[in-house]
Amino acid sequence: MATITTPIPGASGCGILSTFVTARRRRKLNPTTHISKTQKLLHVRSQTATHRNRPMTEKHYKTAPEDRIPLGQKIAFGAGMLGNQMFPASLSIFMVVLVKGLGMDPMLWGILFFLPRMFDAITDPIMGFISDNTNSQWGRRRPYVFIGAIIAGLSFIAMWQVYPENGEMYNFTYFLLVSLVFYFGMTIFSTPYVAMGYEMSNDFHERTRLMAVAQWIGQWAWVIVPWFWVLLYDPEVYATPDAGARELAVWVGLGCLCLALVPAIFCKTQPVDTDHIIRLTRINFRENLGIFFKGFTDTFKCKPFRKLCIATFLVFNAFNTVAGFSWFIIVYYMNNGDPGVAGTWPAWFGTLSALSTCFLVIPIITFISQKIGKKNTFLLSQSVSLVGYAMFWWCFQPDNPLMMFLPLPLFAFGIGGLFTLMMSMTADVCDLDELNSGFRREGTFAAIYWWMGKFGFAIAGLMSGLILKMVGFDQDVELQTPEALQGLRLAYILVPATGTLIAMAVMRKYDLSEQKAHEIREQLEARRGVRATAGTRSVIRKEEAVDPL
C-alpha cells in the first residue's frame, strides 16, 4: 500500500536522542575531530530547538485499486440504508396516530413502545451470532438480508391496518403481535446488513467512503418523513389520521421492502476464512450457547469498541432526548402554542437539518477523515456541533423564524459525523478482534453497537418526559409559563452539549489509528497466507523465502 507522510507535532526527546547518535557516528568516522563540552551542549540545544519545530511524520495509506468498492455497490448498500432508516423514521410519526387517531390509552401506548424494543434488544445479538457462523453458497449475510426485508416490509403494512371500530383492546393486541413480527424481521435484516458493510472492504479509508455514501442516501428518510405529519393531519388529504396511516404504510412498506432487497442481490463482501465458523446444530446447542455468551462478553472487553459504544450512547442519547423539543419550541415559544400558526415550520426544520447532513456534513467529514484520521475528525465534528447548539439560544426568534435555520449546518455535524465515522471505526475494530481471537464477528459487533443505540433511544424517551415535567411544561394549556419555555430552550442546548463533551473526553484516548489498522491488516493477511501487495511491490518475509538450490 503506497504511503504518504503528513506532519504532526513531534517531541523534543527525539531530537536529543538523534543528536547524540549523530555526534557519536561523526566521531567514529573522523576520530581526529574534537568537540568541546560547551560546543556539544550548544549543538544539542540548537538541534533540540530544531526538532521541536520539525514535525514528525505519520503514515497515511492510499487505497489500492483492488480495495476500492465500485460505486454501484456503494449505492446498492446505501439503498438498504434508506430502507433501514425509513422504517424507524416513519414509526416515529405513525405511533402518534394510535393516541390521536385511535384514542388509545397512553399506558397501553407506552407498552407498545417498550415491549417490542425489549424483544429487539434480545434478538439482535443472537442474530449477529447466527449470521457470523453461517456458511452458505450465498455468503453469511445475504440470505438473511433478503428474508428479513420481506418479513419487515409486509408486517409493517399489516401492523397499521387498525380501525377505531375494532375496539381498544383488539387494536392493542393486534398491533403488539404484528409489531413483534415486524421487529423480528428487522432483526433478521438489519444486523446482517450492517455487518455486510463492515465486510465490503478491508481498507481503512474505503470503509469511511462506503459509510458516507450509505449515510448520504439514508438521510433522505429524514428529509421525507417530517412531511408525513403534514399529510396525516391535513383533512383535505386524509379524512382521519388513522386512514392516512393505513394508506401511507402500504407505500412505505413496499418501498422499503424493495430498497432493502437491493444489497441482498447486488452487494459483494470480502471472502472469509471458514475454518473458525461454528457449526450451528441442535446437537451442539449447549456448546454454541457458551460460545455465544463468550463472544458477547469478549466484544465488551475490546477497549476501542467499548469507547465507540459509550460515545455513541452519549451523543445519540443526548440528541434524541431533546430532538422532539424543537417542535415544542417552535409551536409554544415562537407561535404561542398554536400548531395551525406554526404550520409547516417544524417539518422544514427537520428537512433542512437532514439536507445539511447530506450536502455539507457527510462530504466534509469524508474528506477530512482522510487527512487527519477518524478520531480527530470525530472530535472536530462534535466541536462544531457544540457551536451549533449554543447558537440556538439566540436563533429561536418569534419575530424572525428564518433565524432558526442558521445553526442547522453546524448542529448537523453532531449526528452526521457520529454515524459516518463510527460505523467505519467499528469495521476497524472487527479486524483487531480477529487478530486477537481468530474469529470474524462482524454480526456480533454490529448487533451490540446498534443495541447501544437502541438502548440510548429508549432512555432518551424516558428522559424527555422527565425534563418536560421538571421545567413545568403543561400539555393541557396553549400558553406555557415563561419559566417552562426558558427551561425547554436551555435543555435543548445543555443536554446534547453535555453528552457531546463527555463523549469527546471518552474518545480522546481512542488509539486505533490508521497506522495501527494497517499493521493489523498486514498481520491478518500474513496469518491467512496472503502477501500484502496493496499498491506496492510484494514483500517476502524471511520465513517465506525459498532456497533456489
Alpha-carbon distances, residue 290 vs 421, 436, 456, 471 (angstroms): 32, 19, 27, 48
CA pair distance 407, 237, nearest whole angstrom = 33
Find the Cα–Cα–Cα–Cα dihedral 217, 221, 226, 229, rounded to 10°: 160
Structural domains present in the chain: 3-61 (no CATH), 69-277 (1.20.1250.20), 303-512 (1.20.1250.20)
Contact 126, 144 (CB under 8 A): no
Q: What is the DSSP string of 324-369?
A: THHHHIIIIITSTT-HHHHTTHHHHHHHHHHHHIIIIIHHHHHHHH
**What number of residues does the chain have?**
549
Residue 527: what pLDDT?
Answer: 84
**222: its cell numbers:** 429524514
Nearest alpha-carbon partner for 240 in 94, 102, 92, 93: 102
CA pair distance 388, 319, nearest whole angstrom = 13
In the block, residue with C-alpha cell 444489497: 263
Predicted TM-score (pTM) above 0.75: yes
Residue 461: what pLDDT?
Answer: 72
DSSP 278: P
Cα distance between the two ends of the chain: 32
Residue 140: what pLDDT?
Answer: 86
Can you give the pLDDT of all 549 residues of the chain as single tens digits? 444 433 333 343 444 334 434 444 444 444 444 444 444 434 434 444 433 443 444 567 788 888 899 999 999 999 999 999 999 889 888 887 887 778 888 778 878 877 888 888 788 888 988 888 888 788 889 999 999 999 999 999 999 999 998 988 999 999 999 999 999 999 999 999 999 999 898 898 999 999 999 999 999 999 999 899 888 888 888 888 899 999 999 999 999 999 999 999 999 876 665 555 556 555 565 556 666 677 678 888 899 999 999 999 999 999 988 888 888 899 889 998 887 788 889 889 999 999 999 999 999 999 999 999 999 999 999 999 999 999 999 999 999 999 999 999 999 999 999 989 999 999 999 999 989 888 888 888 988 888 888 777 778 877 887 888 888 888 677 788 999 999 999 999 999 999 999 999 999 999 999 999 999 999 988 887 754 444 333 333 333 333 332
